[in-house]
Amino acid sequence: MAYSVESRADRDLEFSAGELTGALGDSVTVLPLLVALGATTSVSLPHVLLGFGVFQIIWGLHYGLPISVEPMKALVGLAIVGALSYAELAAAGLLAGGVLLVVGRLGLVGRLQRIVGEPVIRGVQFAVALLLLEAAVDLSVGNPPIAAAGLAVVGLLALVGHARTSALVVLGLGAVAAVTAAGVPTPTVPALAVFPAGRPALSAAAIEGTVAQLGMTIGNAAIATALLCGDLYDREVSADALSRSMGVTCLAAIPLGGVPMCHGSGGLAGKYAFGARTGGANVLLGVGYLALALVAAGAALAAFPMALLGVLLVVVGGQLARAAFDPVSDRRSLALVVGVGAVGAVVNVGVAFVAGAVAFWLLSRME
């Protein structure tokens, strides 16, 4: 049974089983990353979930589509592995938000994508995946039996055809263990405050991370998402409009304790694959995030098994690595993806991005 109401985008908002399962499909990578971020940094997880809940609803109503709202994976991944502090993450998110707002208003998104080159963007994805896998090993060595059990669950779910949901299952097991150890948290409304987890701090690392993230965001969250809106939903949404909405999201959410957020073609495709067809999926998911924000207490989060957190990072890192290589179709692009990824993991993601962009430009001129 489905219920519908009119949205601002002249598109019915449905609240059906398909919209609910589609909403869950978008949370597969979002929640594991947010829990990992909350467990490894000084971020306030309730405020982060509050931001995701509010902007899921806002953009679902605005576009009338199940537009994805995801963490900026490069920046959040770098924070999880310790390459960025929370203060640097907040500064990078504000900087990225300002740039996205300006380039979207000036109509420069497509032009910037052509300059950077898709293989370089995919290489940054691969670098972040490698860093997440390295962090996963560090988190898992403290309790190998728990890590092995978590990996066994992931493997079993993959064998029976539910690999995509394995991260949520492991997250659920970790949540049960945390509640068992720390008790059921008392619902608490996150306090409204400006920069509740600390003020932003601009640094060289924050700038490098922002540059690398913008390449991913412009390619995947703006251009690829705009194309998918047409392919899957027969709706024309411009990449520049998506860039502007991501800029607004970052600039509004981060001062209130949120983290850098973007749209994403993977999340949009995930919602569609799980049955979402309207912005109703965003409303349902947004309400779910708001409910989680009430109980994401520090004690329960601190009790989350670190070894299972490592398993979560393995799953998320694997998904990110697969997304990096899926579109690669020639040897030159493959070499760039691998090279940028290796340099990013060993040296620095910002250095890898700049070096990859230069290499892409030189190779393009040789054609």
> What confidence score (pLDDT) does residue 354 get?
83
Residue 215 · residue 114 · CB < 8 Å: no
Helix 349-365 crosses helix 204-216 at what angle (to 10 degrees)?
50
What is the rounded distance in angstroms from the CA atom of residue 321 to the CA atom of residue 317? 6
Q: What is the largest CA-CA distance in the chain?
A: 63
CB 124 within 8 A of CB 349: yes
Q: What is the pLDDT at residue 344?
A: 86
> Could you give the CA distance from residue 306 to residue 146 in angstroms, rounded to a whole number?
9
Spatial contact of 89 and 224, defined as CB atoms under 8 Å apart: no
What is the identity of the amino acid at 204? A
> Residue 181 is encoded by which pair of tokens?
């150890």
Q: Which residues, 6 or more positions from 114, have their beta carbon under 8 angstroms from its beta carbon?
A: none
Rounded to an integer, what distance in angstroms lies between the CA atom of residue 104 and that of residue 101? 5
Look at residue 316 in the predicted model and tell me its pLDDT: 79
Residue 5: per-residue pLDDT: 41
pLDDT at 266: 75
- Three-state secondary structure call for residue 179: helix
What whole-number distance in Å separates Cα of residue 73 and Cα of residue 84? 13
Q: What's the confidence (pLDDT) of residue 303?
A: 84
What single-letter amino acid sits at 173?
L
d(CA 143, CA 307): 6
Of 317, 359, 357, the C-alpha closest to 136 is: 317
Residue 172, pLDDT score: 87
Regions of the chain short of the pLDDT cut 70: 1-11, 113-114, 367
**Residue whose C-alpha is closest to residue 36's, from 95, 6, 78:** 78
**Displacement of CA 43 from its chain's centroid (Å):** 15
Between CA 280 and CA 64 the distance in angstroms is: 8
Query: What distance in Å separates the CA atoms of residue 333 and residue 331, rounded to the nearest whole number?
Result: 5
pLDDT of residue 222: 86
The string over 96-116, giving b where at least 16 C-beta atoms fall within 10 Å of a residue's C-beta and e elsewhere, is bbebbbebbeeebbeebbeeb
Alpha carbons 359 and 367: distance in angstroms, whole number = 13
Single-letter code of the amino acid located at 366: M
